[in-house]
Amino acid sequence: SGATGWNTFILRQALAAKSEKRILFASICDPKTCDQLDGLNLGTKTEIELGVGHDAMSEKVKLEVTVLSKGEVVRPIGIGTEGIAKTFGKCVVVHVEGTAIDIIVANHRQSYAHAIQFESAGVNWMDYDVTVVKQGYIFPYLKENAAGYVMSLTDGATPQDTASIPFKRIMRPMFPVDQI
């Protein structure tokens, strides 16, 4: 639940689980860390603190990473246009040492929902067992190409679990706040 793209909550869960499944996070927005990584050569190993630290959901995570690729954050123009995109920022794909986790670290928040976005980052999401994306719904391209999909209702700036939103000024009764 993070329109900001800052959320490191699921990353922290994946790190704690120590899964052998290959996981791609697409993406985590942290402009400062993205700039730090962008200045490094491919193959460079370094230590980063990923996360903007704005709140508990964007808590910083210390990681030892290797720079895998550099690319652009793009947004497809129009529905169903895989080959046309507008550039919004830059990104760096890193591998977290000692894990099966790769992360697209971006300097601009953007939902990854089309092939051209992954290609522009320099990564193939189909090479992973699990791909974590920042979305409030599943986009058709991902739905058609995924073996399965799950929505995680996390806290953050844009919660999808409407019953958990602390509404103040509403006309009652209102579902799902009130059981009607």
pLDDT digits (tens, 9 = 90+) for 129-173: 999 998 766 788 888 888 877 766 676 666 666 667 777 788 888
Contact yes or no for 12/99 (Cβ under 8 A): no
88 in any annotated domain: yes
173 in any annotated domain: no
CA distance 101 to 81: 29
- pLDDT tens-place string over residues 45-93: 999 999 988 888 889 999 999 999 999 999 877 655 555 678 889 999 9
% pLDDT > 90, the chain: 50
CA distance 175 to 180: 7
33 in any annotated domain: yes
Structure tokens at 159: 């919660």
32 in any annotated domain: yes
- Domain span at residue 50 reads 9-154
Q: How far is CA 29 from the centre of its chain?
A: 7
128 in any annotated domain: yes
- The domain total for the chain is 1
CA distance 70 to 106: 10
What H or E segment, with its residue span, contains residue 6?
A: none
74 in any annotated domain: yes
169 in any annotated domain: no
Place of tokens 């189909």: 126
